[in-house]
Structure 1
Amino acid sequence: MAETTGAPQGANWRDLGIRTLSSAILIPAVLVDVWLGDAWFHLLVALLGVMMAHEWTNIVHDRSSSQFALHAAAALCGAFLPLSHGWHMALGVIAVIWVLSLLLALAQHRRLSLWVVSGVAYIGLPAMAFVILRGENEAGMLAMMWLFAVVWAADICAYFAGRVIGGPKLAPRISPKKTWAGLWGAIAGAAAVGAAVAYGAGLADVILLGLLGGVLAVVEQMGDLFESALKRHYGVKDSGRLIPGHGGVLDRVDGLVAASLVLAAVVIVSGYIGAGNELFGR
């Protein structure tokens, strides 16, 4: 999750070293898993989804074990059902789990706020999106690599543009450190990297993928703000302490899950699924 701030000060950079070290360890591991695909990728998506479920229910549902079980089930359905039974079936099962979660929340005398209502979808749908995008062929592998590159570029460029340029705040009530400069930095960086990766991979639609990268940068930043609003509402600084310098899993993937949903929608609506994924075909 990129945090952007105003005038550059030495204190603003104190977390850069540990963030960089954590990323240097995690990024290669994730890319290798994406490259391997098959069961390894499904297991990674399932693991991340279950960890997201744990953090979400700790924050929103007061560590309810029954809510955790339902949210984790949504993650597992999203990770394993789409390729074996189709995304329609996975979506239907996640919808049933969502209804059960709402009924349980009512039985627990909880108010159906945005956060209570959105948890199952927030965890289950991105897991499904990742699996749809990865598929079982080279085009799916390239799609995921491209997505990671775009999101990481947006995150990094927002971080540095906000600290170097500063300026007006983007959403001060939600995330006081974010600036408009950070947003524009994210758009420029993601568009450039999206086009560069597409060109380097020999993809046909370099300009289109560059423009799409810029759009996904906006989506990534909105996903970041959504998770920031969650933490501000519940008065927590980080969703967890799993990743040094980054907080919890939700803190690290907030922008990625939002971008994955939009890219998966583009792939589905365009008819670029599986072997027909021409957008990332060569």
Structure 2
Amino acid sequence: MLKQRIITAIWLIPLVFGAIFGLPNEYFSWALLGVFLIAAKEWGRIIDSRCNMTQWSFTVTIGVLLVALNILVPADEIWLRGMLHPIFLGVILIGGFWWFLSFFMVLSFPKSANFWEKSHILKSMFGQLTLIPCFVSLLALKGLSTQASPYYGATLVFLVMLVVWATDSGAYFAGKRFGKRKLMPNVSPAKTIEGLLGGLLTTMIVVAGVMYASPEQELGLLIAVTLFTALASAVGDLSESMFKRVAKIKDSGTILPGHGGVLDRIDSLTAALPIFTLIYIAFWM
């Protein structure tokens, strides 16, 4: 399993890096649509793992909404005079509220599942709240650029991904080596408190790298934002685990050997990106 994960990461990371830094924003927004359609199809299995019609219906719904967003808010209009487009801001704020709610749903699981586990409508709504704010946040961050720093937004996106990858990797290896106390056994039996702490500690490598490259940053704020983003990513991971447990599926898909589906790979990002974007707007805009 670990060997497959490494092999997949070897070709996946350059592909992601190339898309973030190499594609112009207007092309990136449409390329990203394809990734989220795959994730939507996988979420359809969470809604109903046995009904292809339900899965495709949800995929089409997400596709229509994302296409509408790309048309209503073209890439060159996401940021105007330093202000985020109201539609994008509204979607990201809704996303922030969703992850606040999702956190308490995870904490109270399995009791929290009593009101949604048999409702296709609610699970579809939760899928929209998970995927669409992530899509919007990714475009919003990447769209941040100036003539002096054309890759500023792309760098921010990559930094969020580094924080998430550091958290996941640190949690995996620390959990394997030191894990004893279960974090949330009802949601994800394999995750441990020691693993989470190891993941948070690993993110300090990202902080050190940012301070080395940009020493004018305020260290305390940078550490706080990094840890908060890492914790948000953990909530995203646990949230997907919760929904998959109810759906009785181990992986959302099989498209990425060793990692499962696209949704399995971006579950942490679905929470980390909107939360980081809100923090950025609050403290740096």
Query: In which range does the TM-score fall when normalised by the shorter chain?
Result: 0.7 to 0.9
Separation of aligned partners in 1, 2:276 and 2:283: 10
Q: Deviations over 1:213-240 (max 9, x none)?
A: 1121111111100000011000011100
Q: Does 1:41 align with 2:28?
A: yes
Deviates most, 49-58 or 196-205: 196-205
* CA contact 1:193–1:210 (8 Å) conserved in 2: no
Shift of 1:270: 3.3
Q: Quote the Cα distance in structure 2 between the aligned partners of 1:23 and 1:178.
A: 21
Number of aligned positions between the proteins = 243
Deviation (angstroms), 1:199: 2.2
Structure 1 stretches of 5 or more lacking a match? 1-14, 96-109, 273-282
In structure 2, what residue type is equivalent to 1:58? Answer: R
> TM-score under structure 2 normalisation?
0.77
RMSD of the alignment, in Å? 2.4
Which whole-Å CA distance do the structure 2 matches of 1:77 and 1:182 have between them? Answer: 40
AA partner of residue 88 (structure 1): P
1:49/1:76 contact within 8 Å kept? no
Q: Does the alignment pair 1:23 with 2:31?
A: no
Q: TM-score by structure 1 length?
A: 0.78
Instruction: Say if 2:75 is the partner of 1:83.
Output: yes
Which of 237, 247, 253 is the equivalent residue of 2:260? 247
1:139 maps onto 2:152 in alignment: yes
For residue 83 of structure 1, what is the amino acid of its counterpart?
Answer: A
CA distance in 2, matches of 1:210, 1:78: 33
Aligned to 1:51: 38
Structure 1 counterpart of 2:208: 196
Deviation at 1:92, TM superposition (A): 6.8
Q: What's 2:63 paired with? A: 72
After TM superposition, give the deviation of residue 253 of structure 1 in Å.
0.5
CA contact under 8 A between 1:19 and 1:245: conserved in structure 2?
yes
Structure 2 equivalent of residue 105 of structure 1: none
Q: Quick check: 1:217 aligned with 2:230?
A: yes
Q: Distance in 2 between matches of 1:67 and 1:203?
A: 46
Shift of 1:197: 2.8
2:271 equivalent in structure 1: 258
Offset of residue 51 of structure 1: 1.1
Inter-partner Cα distance in structure 2 for 1:172 and 1:183: 13
How far apart, in 1, do the equivalents of 2:38 and 2:184 lie?
28
Q: 1:229 is matched with which residue: 233, 236, 242?
A: 242
